[in-house]
Structure 1
C-alpha cells in the first residue's frame, strides 16, 4: 500500500523481527484519538501495525479539544495505553458567522491541549504523540456548507496548528505534521488528490497516505520511545 507514494512511505521493515508476537497482550497498545479524519484512516493504521501493536480508538468522533478533554478517561486513561496519537483542531476552528467567534477560542484551545497532555502523562505511562489538523480547501468547504451557521477556513487551521506545534514543542511532544503531508505531497501528487469535494475529508488515496504516515510515525517515534521507557 505504501508503494504508490515512493520510498518516503516504504513498509516498516524493522518491527517485524523485533515486535512480532502471537499474543496481543504482549504487544504495545496504541490509542488513536481524533475526529472523522482519524476515524477514516484508523483501519489502515491497524492494518499496517497488525501483529506489531494493538491499535484501538473510540468509535465516536472526537470533535473539538474540549470534547476530547471531557472524554479523556473513557477514550484514553482507562485503556492504559503505551502510545497515544491524538489530534483535535478542525472542530475547534469552526467560526460562527453571526458572531465571528470560534467554537473553541485560541486561548482555550491552548489550555485544553496542555491539560490533555498533562493528564495523559500523569495518569498513564504512555508516550504522547500529536498530529496537526489536515488542510481545508476553502471554496469547496464553503460550497458544501451553504446555509450553515459556521465556516471552516484554511487560515484558521494554520493558526491553530501553529498554536499546537508551539505547545507541543514546549511540552516535548513529538508532532506528526499531517497538514504538511496533505498540503505539500510528493510528486506527482497534488493536495487535490487527497481531499474530497466537501473540502475537508480525505479521499481513499488520502486515507491511505495519512494512515501509512501515522503507522510509520507511531513506529518510529512511539514504539521506540515506549520500549525505552518500559524495557
Structure 2
C-alpha cells in the first residue's frame, strides 16, 4: 500500500473513525504552545525523529524520555529512551511526578515488552491482569503530570520472523491482540484519547513493512510519524 506523508497526516480525516479508531476532533485554535512528551518503546524511537520534524512547532514543543543512543545499542533490551514494559513506564512516570515535571500532552505506549513470552520460565513478562493494573496506575499518575493523556496502540510484530530457535523469548500475535484490547477497553473506560497506530500500520502492508521481527522500514516510520502529527493537529 502506497501512502504519502500528507495522506498519512490526514488519514483519520479522510477515512473517518474506522481508519483511526477515534472520533473526529475539531481543532480549536490556541495561542498557547503545548508541551508534548513521548514515552514509549523502541517503536516510538523509530518514528520519534520524524515526528519531531512533522509537528507544528508553532503549536508544540517536542520532548521524550531521554537516552536514544543507549536505547539503540540493543532495541530488545529497554534502556534509556526505550520505555520498556508497563511496569517500567509506570515507574518512570512516578519519577516525573516526584520531580514535579509538567507537560500539556503526554503520549504513552507500552505493550510489546509486556507480551514477551519467556521460554525458560514459560510465562509472559507482565500478566494480563498486571498489565491492566499498570495502565490504571499510568492513567492516574498522568493526571499529576499532564493536562491531556493520549494512548498510542501497540504496533504489530512479525511472529514468523520473531519466533526462531535462537530467541530466549517469543511474541505471539494472539497476545498482542489481547493486550491491545485490554488497553483499548481501559482507555475507553477512563475517557482516554486513543491513536490507533496498530490499525494504521497494519493497513500499510504485510511483511514488507518490517525491517526485522518487530521494527519497521524507514518509510513506514515516517508515515507513522505523519499519522500521529496529523492526529495532533486536529486534537483540541
Given the two structures, how large is their TM-score scaled by the length of structure 1? Answer: 0.80
Return the match for 2:231 from 199, 212, 217: 217
Aligned equivalents of 2:8, 2:91: Cα separation in 1:
37
Q: Which residue of 2 aligns with 1:68?
A: 89
Contact 1:93 1:104 in 2 (8 A): yes
Contact 1:57 1:75 in 2 (8 A): no
CA distance 1:109–1:210, change in 2 (3 Å) = same
Contact 1:58 1:75 in 2 (8 A): no
Higher share of residues assigned helix = 1
Q: Unpaired segments of 5 or more residues in structure 1? A: 12-17, 21-25, 225-231
Q: Unpaired segments of 5 or more residues in structure 2? A: 12-28, 67-80
Aligned equivalents of 1:52, 1:93: Cα separation in 2:
35
Higher relative contact order (CA 8 A, sep 6+): 2
Post-superposition offset of 1:124: 3.1
Return the match for 2:221 from 207, 219, 227: 207
Aligned equivalents of 1:8, 1:149: Cα separation in 2:
36
Name the SS of the counterpart of 2:37 in structure 1: strand
Post-superposition offset of 1:3: 6.9
Q: Which residue of 2 aligns with 1:228?
A: none
* Greater mean alpha carbon deviation, residues 72-81 or residues 127-136: 72-81
Moved over 6 A (4+): none
Q: Which residue of 1 aligns with 2:196?
A: 177
Aligned equivalents of 2:84, 2:202: Cα separation in 1:
22
- 1:128 matches 2:149: yes
Which residues in structure 2 correspond to 1:110-121 (within 5 Å)? 110-121=132-143
CA distance 1:179–1:70, change in 2 (3 Å) = same
Q: Which residue of 1 aligns with 2:128?
A: 106
Q: Which residue of 2 aligns with 1:28?
A: 34
Post-superposition offset of 1:96: 1.1
Q: Which residue of 2 aligns with 1:57?
A: 64
- 1:95 matches 2:117: yes
CA distance 1:43–1:75, change in 2 (3 Å) = farther
CA distance 1:73–1:205, change in 2 (3 Å) = same
